[in-house]
Amino acid sequence: MSEVAARSPMGNRFRNPWRKPRILESFIWLYLAWSILPVAIAVLFSFNAGRSRSTWQGFSLRWYFKDPVLSVWHDPNLHTALFQTLRLAALTTIIAVPLGVAFAIGIDRWRGRIAATFNFQMLLSFVMPELIIGVTLLFVFANLLSFVHLGTKAQFLGLVTFQVSYPVIIVRARMLSIGKEYEEAAMDLGASPVQALRRVLLPLLYPAIFASAVLVFADVIDDFVIVRYLSSDASTEPMAVKIFNSARASPTPALNALATIMLTTSLLLIVLGYVGYRFSTRGERRGAGPGFGDFAAEL
């Protein structure tokens, strides 16, 4: 009887562990639809010709730049929030990524309890809730470092403190994957430790550095907690804070347009980071390795 059940279509369906999981697949599609639908509606109404955020009144770019008063480009509050976000993202990336790369190389070379302590502190800032970091930094700038006024400077220092752990983790993972053989081979060929670092290790770390820069820039654009606690007035509020503060005060579709700009920028950066990483590691995926022959020829 069991053999007959096993040979039947119903038996095969229950006994085959590799059959297509239709129930799980349906659940995933429903979850994606539930997650994407509200975002799609918000993006759609950013192109609405009228002021309504619930009734479609025709397609228009009014809320991006055509409206001379209320569009993102012409409204001074939204305009300021957009440029404040881009300024914080650029400054944080320029400072946090080199610091993270140097930190990762130093921790990889440094041994002992002090190095382990710094490594633990870096990981602690990575896993610690952003709310706690924002509140503690507010207390530090308000009571201990009172010469750092709330606003752009405080936001910049807070974001660098929080974001520096990302390049450290990404670069250290890259260093573990490539090993130390290439540097050792370069020094066997006559390179000094500094030359091996500059001509061999850093070029091999370029994919991780690029990915770190894209991740930091995209994450700062979406940051809300730290920049909100460390902002001083409306002139230092980035896009995320501006959207939160304006969502209940008779908002126009210009707020949807601002959120769409933030979403589009983050998605473009993610795609750019993925394409750049794939391009920079194309030789490794073909099995050619990181290409030490070019560095050896230079040495």
For residue 102, the domain's CATH number is 1.10.3720.10
pLDDT of residue 77 exceeding 50 = yes
Residue 141 shares a structural domain with residue 184: yes
Residue 170 shares a structural domain with residue 25: no
Residue 26 shares a structural domain with residue 75: no
Over the chain, what is the mean pLDDT? Answer: 81
Task: Report the percentage of the chain scoring pLDDT > 90.
Answer: 12
Task: Report the percentage of the chain scoring pLDDT > 70.
Answer: 87
Q: What is the pLDDT of residue 156?
A: 93
Is 9 a domain residue?
no
pLDDT of residue 295 exceeding 70 = no
* Nearest-angstrom CA–CA distance, 189 and 292: 12
Is 6 a domain residue?
no
Q: What is the pLDDT of residue 134?
A: 87
* Nearest-angstrom CA–CA distance, 181 and 172: 15
pLDDT band at 17 (very low <50, low <70, confident <90, very high): low
pLDDT band at 78 (very low <50, low <70, confident <90, very high): confident
Residue 131 shares a structural domain with residue 259: yes
Residue 97 shares a structural domain with residue 240: yes
pLDDT of residue 118 exceeding 60 = yes
Residue 146 shares a structural domain with residue 246: yes
Residue 165 shares a structural domain with residue 223: yes
Contact 71, 63 (CB under 8 A): yes
Q: What is the pLDDT of residue 191?
A: 78
Is 160 a domain residue?
yes
pLDDT band at 293 (very low <50, low <70, confident <90, very high): very low
Is 1 a domain residue?
no
* Nearest-angstrom CA–CA distance, 149 and 126: 25
Who wins on pLDDT, 47 or 10?
Answer: 47
Closest CA to 256 of 87, 52, 34: 52
Query: And the tokens for 113?
Result: 């309890």
pLDDT band at 94 (very low <50, low <70, confident <90, very high): very high
Q: What is the DSSP string of 106-163?
A: HHHH--SHHHHHHHHHHHHHHHS-HHHHHHHHHHIIIII-TTS-TTHHHHHHHHHHHH
Q: Is the pTM of this model over 0.75?
A: yes
12-16, 75-79, 275-279: least confidently modelled range = 12-16
pLDDT of residue 288 exceeding 70 = no
Who wins on pLDDT, 289 or 90?
Answer: 90
Q: What is the pLDDT of residue 21?
A: 74
Instruction: Find the mean pLDDT for residues 270-295.
Output: 66
Sign of the Cα pseudo-torsion (277, 280, 285, 289, in order): negative
Q: What is the pLDDT of residue 290?
A: 59
Residue 56 shares a structural domain with residue 185: no
Is 248 a domain residue?
yes
Residue 137 shares a structural domain with residue 273: yes
Is 93 a domain residue?
yes
Could you report the per-residue pLDDT of 214-239, keeping only the tens digit for each? 889 989 988 888 999 998 888 888 98
Query: And the tokens for 247?
Result: 């969502």
Domain extent, residue 31, equals: 18-62
* Nearest-angstrom CA–CA distance, 118 and 109: 13
Closest CA to 46 of 255, 265, 263: 255
Instruction: Find the mean pLDDT for residues 38-42.
Output: 87
Instruction: Find the mean pLDDT for residues 139-148.
Output: 86
pLDDT of residue 292 exceeding 50 = no
Residue 24 shares a structural domain with residue 156: no
Residue 151 shares a structural domain with residue 53: no
Length of the chain in terms of residues written = 299
pLDDT band at 159 (very low <50, low <70, confident <90, very high): very high
Is 198 a domain residue?
yes
Residue 160 shares a structural domain with residue 26: no
Q: Which amino acid is at 273?
A: G
* Nearest-angstrom CA–CA distance, 51 and 87: 30
Q: How far is CA 45 from the centre of its chain?
A: 26
Contact 240, 262 (CB under 8 A): yes
Contact 211, 170 (CB under 8 A): yes
* Nearest-angstrom CA–CA distance, 168 and 284: 22
* Domains in the chain, number: 2
pLDDT of residue 174 exceeding 80 = yes
